Amino acid sequence: MNQPKSILVGVDYSEQSKNALRAAARMANSRSAQLVCYHVLDKEVLTQIKKMDEETEKGVLNFAHEKVAEFIREVIGTAHNIVTEVLLGNPFKLTLDQIEKHNAETLVLGSGGYSQEDGHHVGALASRCIRKAPTEVLLVRNYQDHPFEDIVACVDFSENSNRAVHRAAVLASQDQARLKLIHVHRPPIYTEAEMGWLGPAFPIVPEDGIQENLAERVADFAKQIEEQYNLENVTSEVITSHSVHRGIWQALKDTEADLVVLGTRGRTGFKSLLLGTTAEGLINHTPCSALTIKPEGFEYKLF
């Protein structure tokens, strides 16, 4: 018998952790999935516990369980089917263990605020999980304390970006949010200018028919999604930019999106994985929350 899917959320009592918990609870309720909340004791506490006897260690863990339970009640109340885990050890390894143990469909983590200078403040654990956790990862920013209202899904017509669009549609249906599909077209005349988001070396040269065909293709996809998920007014746009990263970033700002959904790339069995230039840049500079979707069959093993 297959184990039911769950929604796994990391909690650490921070403001972004509260919002991650709220988002995870909405997802679990919408999918009738188990909500699993886990907390990893920090290194200082771990060091002290190593000096304690077994009875004292047990007491510390019990206290932590009570604190996590109280935090959950304060944020989302008690009308939820929740499993709580308090863990000692390496946060990344323990996260991978929890994903496997609870058959997590989505890992939800909090992410810091956004500023023009510093970007999205993606922490070390969140960054590693986006790269290597064998499930989709939702990063929720610290001021996203309400359901998503404007969701942008990035389309490049690959299999994984199509999966990302469908996941975005599920969330739009869940939160009654507006959904927009965007595709960034990068004409060959543009020079490589990802570094520093520099402009093109040459003027923009229209490419007869290309943008029209792309716009029609994305619009058809949007119509299909709208009908399949019974959504209202799914919109689409093709953006011309020298940089896919920059094009998406500007679209998110213009749309005032509070969530971007995009596919990452990686290959089964490879430990040194890259998100791809676009996803790598967006994760650290996105002005909103982000859901990253792994390719089908993606897996990562520590050893």
- Which tokens belong to 269? 């069995």
Query: Domain span at residue 216?
Result: 147-303
> Looking at 105-119, 206-220, 265-279, which range is the least confident one?
265-279
For the chain, the domain total comes to 2
Residues 206, 127 share a domain = no
Q: What is the pLDDT of residue 175?
A: 97
Q: What are phi and psi of 87, to 5 degrees?
A: -130, 155
| C-alpha to C-alpha distance for 271 and 269, rounded to whole angstroms | 6
> Looking at 30-44, 48-62, 159-173, which range is the least confident one?
48-62
More confident residue, 267 or 56: 56
**115 pLDDT more than 60:** no
Contact between 9 and 24 under an 8 Å Cβ cutoff? The reply is yes
More confident residue, 271 or 221: 221
Rounded to the nearest 10 degrees, the angle between the axes of helix 54-76 and helix 43-50 is 150
Q: pLDDT tens across 118-174, in order? A: 445 567 788 888 888 899 999 998 889 999 999 999 998 888 899 999 999 999 999
Mean pLDDT of 66-74: 93
Q: What is the pLDDT of residue 198?
A: 39
Percent of the chain at pLDDT > 90 equals 49
Residue that finishes a domain, picked among 145, 167, 198:
145
Residues 160, 141 share a domain = no
Residues 251, 225 share a domain = yes
* CA distances (Å), origin 287, targets 62, 161, 237, 291: 38, 20, 19, 13
Residues 108, 156 share a domain = no
| C-alpha to C-alpha distance for 250 and 59, rounded to whole angstroms | 51
Mean pLDDT of 41-68: 76
Q: What is the pLDDT of residue 46?
A: 64
**99 pLDDT more than 90:** yes
Q: pLDDT tens across 178-203, in order? A: 999 999 988 766 544 443 333 444 44
Task: Look up the CATH number of the domain holding residue 5.
Answer: 3.40.50.620
Residue that finishes a domain, picked among 145, 177, 212:
145
Residues 302, 166 share a domain = yes
Q: What is the pLDDT of residue 66?
A: 92
Residues 155, 138 share a domain = no
With a threshold of 0.75, does the pTM exceed it? Answer: yes
Q: pLDDT tens across 5-27, in order? A: 999 999 998 889 999 999 999 99
**47 pLDDT more than 70:** no
Residues 129, 179 share a domain = no
Q: What are phi and psi of 296, to 5 degrees?
A: -60, 135
Residues 195, 130 share a domain = no
Residue that finishes a domain, picked among 94, 123, 145:
145
Residues 120, 9 share a domain = yes
Q: pLDDT tens across 239-297, in order? A: 988 888 888 888 999 999 999 999 886 543 333 333 444 565 667 677 899 999 988 77
Residues 157, 131 share a domain = no
Q: What is the pLDDT of residue 187?
A: 77
Nearest to 263 by CA among 300, 233, 296: 296
Q: What is the pLDDT of residue 149?
A: 97
Residues 151, 105 share a domain = no
Q: How many residues would you count in the chain? A: 303
Residues 245, 120 share a domain = no
Q: pLDDT tens across 75-92, in order? A: 999 766 799 999 988 899
